[in-house]
Amino acid sequence: MARCLVVALLVSVVVNASRADEGPAFVRTVEGITELKLANGMQVLLFPDVSRPNVTVNLTLFVGSRHEGYGEAGMAHLLEHMVFKGTPSRPTIPAELTKRGAQFNGTTWLDRTNYYETLSASDENLEFAISMEADRMINSLIKAEDLASEMTVVRNEFERGENSPQRVLMQASFFDGLRMAQLRQVHDRQSCRHRTSSRRKPSSLLQTILSARQRDADRGWKV
């Protein structure tokens, strides 16, 4: 689970190639977890774990539902779903992950969105996860037909939560202003792309790598 560090590098290369040759700056190490920072502001956490035979790449973006503007309720969750719809070079991301036996998902919260995949530890899987995350953070397809279908999925997930006593209590305590009616706002491709480009900046990214092999971290900066 330690290869998120490499994903961080590749995302930074795509976002700001001019700074790709600048090495990461060491920040601190606390209880075996090393924090680094890239020249473009992206944070990287490296967490070697010799008890695990796999690697997890997790990308956290410090953007969530609290950043939604007027008429954008549900946009953060919708964008989370759209990132799984593929890119021009990877049109079937879920199928590719499944083929490699990966466990993967994404989640959205008030102040963050994250995407992760856990695969068997190998150089090939590491490079795949890194390049895939970098690619879809920049080149995700935003199609009108996908927006229409995923909006229904997002609405259904919201409605399922209304049958959960815990979720109802949380909404009553913290989310009084977020009502289901807000999710009926129309979101088009232009607004989705605007939020993707304006919010998903390197300084708003945190990459975490958890792996069994320390060498994965060293090799990661050379991919």
Point out the residues that are catalytic: 80
Cα distance between residue 209 and residue 44, in whole Å: 8
Cα distance between residue 48 and residue 41, in whole Å: 23
Cα distance between residue 83 and residue 137, in whole Å: 7
- Please tell me whether residue 138 adopts helix, strand or coil conformation: helix
**How is 9-40 classified by DSSP, letter by letter?**
HHHHHHH-GGGTTSPPEEEEEETTEEEEE-TT
Contacts of residue 208, Cβ cutoff 8 Å, sequence gap at least 6: 4, 5, 44, 45, 46, 47, 56, 58, 59, 60
